Amino acid sequence: MRLGAMITDYIAYRKALGERFHTNAKILNSFARAIDGGTELAEIKPNQVNNFLNGTGPITASWHVRYNALLGFYRYALSRGLVMTSPLPAVRPRRPQPFVPYIYTHEELRRLMAAALTYQKNRGLLEPYMVQTLLLLLYGTGLRPSEALRLSLADVDLAEALITIRDSKFFTSRLVPTGASLNQNLLRYAAHRHQAGYPQNDTSPFFVKRNGQRISISNIDKAFQRIRQEARVSRVDGARYQPRLHDLRHTYAVHRLTSWYQEGKDVQRLLPQLSTYLGHRYLAATSVYLTMTPELLNQASQRFEIYALKGGLP
């Protein structure tokens, strides 16, 4: 069977199981282009697979993402007798150091919000006021940037201070309440949006470009990097990547946990609520967002000390 046809069948099979399968489908289609989709599956050589996996740069986490996509594909082919052996390498390189998200300080957040209004040197696609409101929403709720950009007017109930997230990452929907201060910011933006004459249909995007169209992830990512530079926020820990827009979600989770410790709340009982609020199916998924910062470590240490002094330990 030819590679291209087999990949098409495999992608259809995985989607029939209820998976979105977007990332792996892109990798497999890229593999078909690199090898030539007309090649017989059994004729693909290990060196061709290695060339695809290695690319032209150093080994990164992407190598393992590509490998796992091909691993699932070849397991599928082997189980159906379409190939007798897999051309995947038997030895995998060591994974690079795990990515460490950046947790913004409160001072850095203030600088980012101020820079959102001043970062544009020339009039651009995005209104600075809209950008600032979007950043406030991302930090104030921990929404994924993609979730915020998909919001339509009908999804934002400002009277009830409630946002509806539809068909999120795991095909789930959820309700996200907003605090009073954030809701006031959203109300002001909604009034500005209406006064500016943007479309007011229920299906119209809540956050819009100057031309009234929906904003793409690349639009806001590029704007955020300019804002970050304007606010003079950068990593000094030697990490390879600079702070990202998505790190506002990590920051929200860490700051929420730190606040609970400071308020003396039962953090273990509240963690499942945080997980649900963030749109996670399992608590383990939330743990990825709980980077241990000095402030969080200090609060946890104080809680442990109180526990020990009260005789909680033998």
Per the annotation, the verdict on 214 as an active-site residue is no
pLDDT at 56 over 50: yes
Residue with the two structure tokens 């209104």: 127
Strand order in the sheet with 162-165: 156-157, 162-165, 174-177
Q: How much is the mean pLDDT over the chain?
A: 87
pLDDT band at 304, cuts 50/70/90?
Answer: very low
Length of the chain: 314
The phi and psi torsions of 122 (rounded to 5 degrees) equal -130, 155
pLDDT at 238 over 90: no
Q: What is the pLDDT of residues 104-114, one digit of tens each?
A: 999 999 999 99
Per the annotation, the verdict on 174 as an active-site residue is no
Domains of the chain as residue ranges with CATH? 3-79 (1.10.150), 106-230 (1.10.443.10), 247-309 (no CATH)
Across 22-31, 33-42, 211-220, 286-295, least confident range: 286-295
Q: What is the pLDDT of residues 59-91, one digit of tens each?
A: 778 899 999 999 999 999 999 999 999 999 998
Token pair of 191 as six digits? 């009034």
Give the residue, 254 or 216, on which the prediction is more confident.
216
CA atoms within 13 A on the CB side of 227: 27
Beta-strand pair 174-177/156-157? unpaired
pLDDT band at 245, cuts 50/70/90?
Answer: very high
Mean pLDDT of the region 9-19? 93
pLDDT band at 289, cuts 50/70/90?
Answer: low
Token pair of 97 as six digits? 């150091």
Catalytic residue among 2, 92, 169, 303: 169
Q: What is the pLDDT of residues 146-197, one digit of tens each?
A: 999 999 999 999 999 999 998 766 567 889 999 999 999 999 999 999 999 9
In the three-class reduction of DSSP (H, G, I as helix; E, B as strand; rest coil), residue 296 is classed as helix
Catalytic residue among 14, 66, 111, 144: 144
Cβ proximity of 133 and 141 under 8 Å? no
